[in-house]
Structure 1
Amino acid sequence: MTYFLTADGGTESLRARVYDLSGVCLGSAAVAYETKFSAGARAEQDPEDWWQAFITAARQAIETARVDPSAVEAITLATTSCTVVALDREGRALRPAIIWMDVRASAEAEAVLATRDGALISNGGARGPVSAEWMIPKALWIARNEPEVFENAFTICEYQDFMTLRLTGERAASLNNVTLRWHYQTDRGGWPSTLVEALGLDALLEKWPQRIVPPGGVIANLSAKAAGELGLSTGVKVVQGGADALIGMIGLGVAHPGQLALITGSSHLQFGVTESAVHAPGIWGTYRDCVYPNRYIVEGGQTSTGSIIAWLGRLMNGTMDFDEMNRKAAALEPGCDGLLVQDHFQGNRTPYTDPLSRGAIVGLTLAHEPHHIFRAIMEGIGFGTRAILDAMATAGYRGTEITVGGGAGASDLWLQIHADTAGLPVCVPASRDAPSVGSAVLAAHGAGHFATIDDGIAAMVRPGKRIEPRTREMALYADIYQQYLALYPALKSVRGQEGRSI
């Protein structure tokens, strides 16, 4: 028997899983680690915690799976993206990692955008935004505010690359991460040299790992030291993964033009597959070779989605029964008796790229109850997704179906609302652990069991349910959607005064 070890390195914990060649998860274990928050929207982690979490979780997952460790053939990881680490020559962290949600580098993000460099074409057709979360703004912040750290750093890389270094001793970056958030472009000369030079950051080019490995490519075998810590053999291949949401596309089986992955949780991410480049205001991307060879990924995103449902739960002092709320909300007609929600509770990522936009509940009466608001929130989020799909369509990408991963897959009502508001079928695979399944597919491909990632998907990603849009509801939502679109310009003129947010 052949088995594959995966790790999903998230914001709060790392979960290791063991899969067989058919895509079945045989064992799983998670280990939490600490995030330290401080003023200025700062969030940091100790990279050593990631490594220790992986060792512990991996050993526990293999034990739970009851497999012979000698039968583990390959390892692939999916981790948070834009989690930046600075390392010395021995691979030791010079400072805590600046994790993805840390936005201290807002001024540096503005400086990156102000260059108007051609490498920014993937950011709204070079009109932005550039996020303080991304690699170059964070590296620029270190150079400006901690020059001794920047100068002494032999390697500046990401969570993914730190783990690769510990596993193999190799300084290698994932093509997935560098195309997604480092402005590397396989069809435009590679590294963003003129961009970093314009920022006075030329030295960064030498500090980045120079070896770039695509998802599914073999980086190296386990080093003797790593093998000993994990209880595995040095014959185990370490196969490249990438950013958790993008590797999740593979785990959802989203690989062909027209397919769109909807990654749900506190926020929504939309990733579509295209055969050609698409660059336009209101969308991010496209990123060539980011996940699949010779294919492009187009990106959209909603900042607040599941987090708005959580907000409603807090307002109800923890008394919200999710099952009951779904049941009552499902009995309502589209439009929730005149309620309309703008889903910009933490600003708008796409298609307006307006961090100062805010949420709104419009049409409230004394007759409305919590389940009306609950459904209206879901509908507003569905309309927000539809607005992103429309922006993509205007730019030249048209989705034919939506495949959902994450928390929204647990609510049949939410899935149906997404289908009805978008006018597209919604699919949910049998497993919603998309980053881990995607990592298992890559591990099997890198180990030589499948000639292509597509072949691995066909063998290891099992189908689940499919929800079709309903004709009557689609027609009702078409009218309400126009009212939703009218909210943004109307509310923009009356928004409250507050400082800039990211």
Structure 2
Amino acid sequence: MAYFLTADGGTESLRARIYDLSGTCLASHAEPYETTFSPGARAEQNPEDWWACLCKATRACLAEAGLSGDQIEAMAYATTCCTVVALDANGRPLRPAIMWMDVRADQEAEAVLATGDARLKLNSDGAGPVSAEWMIPKALWIKRNEPDVYDAATTICEYQDYLTLRLTGERCASLNNVGLRWHYANRDGGWAESLVSALGMGDLVEKWPSRVAAPGEVVGPLTKEAADALGLTTKTKLVQGGADALIGMIGLGVAQPGQLCLITGSSHLQFGVTEKPFHAPGMWGAYADIVYPDRYIIEGGQTSTGSIINWLRRFVGGDFDFDEMNRRAAALPPGSDGLIVQDHFQGNRTPYTDALSRGAITGLTLAHEPHHVFRAIMEGISMGTRAILDAFAKGGYEGSEMIAGGGATNSDLFMQIHADTAGIPVRIPASTDGPSLGSAILAAHGVGHFDTIDDGIAAMVKPGRVIDPNPKAVAAYEEIYARYTALYPALKGALSK
């Protein structure tokens, strides 16, 4: 048998898993790490925590699966995207990592857009705005606000690349991440040199990793130091992964043109696959080859989704019983008795790309209880997804169903609301751990067990259940959706950081 180690480096924890060639998960273990939040929509993590958690989780998985380290043929992982790290010449962090959800670089994002560089066409057809979440605005923020850190940095990279450096000694980035968020053009010139030069930091290209590898490409074997720390051996090969949501597409089996993918978690991401590139306002992409060779990916996303539900749990405090909250919320009619939630608690990614927009709960009365707000949050998130699918449709991309994965798929109510607000079925594969299973498929493909990623999907992704929209609820949500979409222009400027 062949065995593959994966890791899913998320917002709140790192989860390691071990898979076999059938796609069966033999072991799973998560280790949490801390996020530090501060005013100005800032969020930071300690990269050393990621490494410590990877080591602990890997050893725990080996013990659970009853395997020895020399039985792990290959490993691959998916991590949060746009979590930016500055490293010294020895690969040590010079400051805490600036997380993906951190939008402090809003002024720097405006400066990126103001260059008018041709690479900006990838997002909203060049109309902008550029997101404060992305690599170049964050690197520019470091240069402007922490010049000593910027000057001392030998490497400026992402979570994904930091682990790769620790595991193999290679300064290697994923084509997935750089094509998605660094304005890297795989088929036309590589790095965005003219863009960073226009911003007065042409030296950033030298600080970026010196190699780019596509998902499924072997980066190299583990170093002895890394192998010893994880309980593996240097026979284990590291295969390139990428951003959690994009690798999640593979694990959910979303690979063919015309399919829609919904990745849920602390945030939501929506993706489509197309054979030809196109660009439209309110959507990002199309990105060439970043998941599958000779195919393009289009994208939308919501910065805050599951994290809003976690906020409500913290806000309410006490004994917050999710099962009871779901039961009571399910008994409510669409619209949560007049509540509308704008889901921009950490800004809006698409279709508005407005880092300064904020969340809102409107229609509150003294009769409302926590379960009303709970359902209204799920409805606001689902209508945020609908707004992104509408932007896709205006650009010429429509899907007849959504294939969903991630934590929200554990709630039938949440998935039903998604189906009802979008008016299309939601299909949920047997395994909703898309980033982990996708990483396993890449690892198996990378070391030669499958000729293509598509072959790996056919062998390892299993069918699950389908949630069909309720026609009465679909009709009810049309009027509620109209009120939801009216909130953003009404509140724009009134709600800011």
Shorter-chain TM band:
over 0.9
Query: What is the CA distance between 1:190 and its match in structure 2?
Result: 1.7
* SS of aligned partner of 2:466: strand
Give me the whole-angstrom Cα distance separating, in 1, the residues matched to 2:140 and 2:381: 34
Q: How does 1:140-289 map to 2 (within 5 A)?
A: 140-289=140-289
**Cα distance in 1 between the residues matched to 2:365 and 2:141:** 48
The residue type equivalent to 1:238 in the other structure is L
Superimposed CA distance per residue, residues 403-424 of structure 1 (whole angstroms, 9 cap, x where no aligned partner): 2222221111111111121111
2:475 alignment partner in structure 1: 475
For residue 370 of structure 1, report the CA deviation from its aligned partner. Answer: 4.3
RMSD: 2.4
Superposition pairs of residues 444-455 of structure 1, within 5 angstroms:
444-455=444-455
Partner SS for 2:67 = coil
In structure 2, list runs of 5 or more residues that go unmatched: none
- State the 1:365 CA deviation: 5.5
Q: 1:462 — aligned with what? A: 462
User: Residue 69 of structure 1 corresponds to which residue in structure 2?
Assistant: 69
In the superposition, relative to structure 1, how do residues 339 and 103 fare at CA in structure 2: closer, same or farther (>3 Å)? closer
Deviation at 1:277, TM superposition (A): 1.7
Q: Which amino acid aligns with 2:166?
A: R
Paired residue secondary structure (1:125): helix
Q: Tell me the residue number matched to 1:26.
A: 26
- 1:212 deviates by 0.8
Aligned length: 497
Of the structure 1 ranges 66-75 and 318-327, higher mean CA displacement relative to structure 2 is found in 318-327
The separation in 1 between residues aligned to 2:233 and 2:207, in whole angstroms, is 31
By how many angstroms is 1:300 displaced? Answer: 1.2
**Corresponding residue for residue 489 of structure 2:** 489
CA positional deviation for 1:481: 2.6
Match of 2:435 in 1: 435
The offset of 1:26, in angstroms, is: 1.0
Distance 1:37 1:485 in 2: 29
Offset at 1:180?
1.0
Are the equivalent residues in 1 in contact too, given 2:105–2:132 (CA < 8 A)?
A: yes
1:111-126 superposed matches below 5 A: 111-126=111-126
Shift of the 226–483 alpha-carbon distance from structure 1 to 2, 3 Å rule, reads closer
Distance 1:338 1:32 in 2: 37
Equivalent-residue separation in structure 2 for 1:45 and 1:345 (angstroms): 20
Cα distance, 1:312 vs structure 2: 4.1
The range that moved more, 413-422 or 320-329, is 320-329
Q: Aligned AA for 2:270?
A: Q
Q: CA deviation at 1:391?
A: 0.7
In structure 2, distance between residues paired with 1:186 and 1:147: 30
Show the counterpart of 2:304. 304
- 5+ unaligned residues in a row in structure 1: which ranges? none
Does the Cα contact within 8 Å between 2:84 and 2:138 map onto a contact in 1? yes
Contact 2:131-2:353 at 8 Å conserved across structures: no
CA contact (8 A) 2:101 2:346 kept: no
Structure 1 residue 338: deviation in Å?
4.4
Distance in 1, Cα, partners of 2:22 & 2:262: 24
Q: Which moved more, 1:456-465 or 1:26-35?
A: 26-35
How many Å separate the matches in 2 of 1:43 and 1:305? 16
Distance 1:338 1:35, change over 3 A: closer
Partner of 2:396: 396
Distance across 1 between alignment mates of 2:357 and 2:151: 39
Contact 1:429 1:463 in 2 (8 A): yes
Whether the 8 Å CA contact 1:258–1:401 is kept in 2: the answer is no
Amino acid at match of 1:52: A
Change in CA separation of 1:69 and 1:113 when aligned onto 2, cut-off 3 Å: same
Q: Are residues 1:78 and 2:82 paired?
A: no
Percent identity among equivalent residues? 69
What SS does the corresponding residue of 2:7 show, helix, strand or coil?
A: strand
2:332 counterpart residue number: 332
Give the 3 Å change call, closer, same or farther, for CA 356–143 of structure 1 in structure 2: closer
2:240 is paired with a residue whose SS is strand
Q: State whether residues 131 and 354 of structure 2, in contact with CA within 8 Å, keep that contact through their aligned partners in structure 1.
A: no
Cα 1:95–1:486 shift into 2, 3 Å: closer
Q: Deviations over 1:350-390 (max 9, x none)?
A: 22233444444455556655444433332332222111101
| Farther-moved stretch of structure 1 (240-249 vs 261-270) | 261-270
- Could you say if the C-alpha distance between residues 355 and 142 of structure 1 is closer, same or farther in structure 2, counting changes exceeding 3 Å? closer
* In 1: Cα distance, 2:15 partner to 2:217 partner: 22
Please name the residue that 1:10 is paired with: 10
Give the distance between the partners of 1:298 and 1:73, measured in 2 at CA. 33
CA gap of 1:305–1:98, structure 2 versus 1, over 3 A, is: closer
Question: Residue type matched to 2:219 in 1?
Answer: I
Please give the per-residue CA displacement for 1:86-129, whole angstroms capped at 9, x wherever unaligned: 33333333444333333343332221121111111122222222
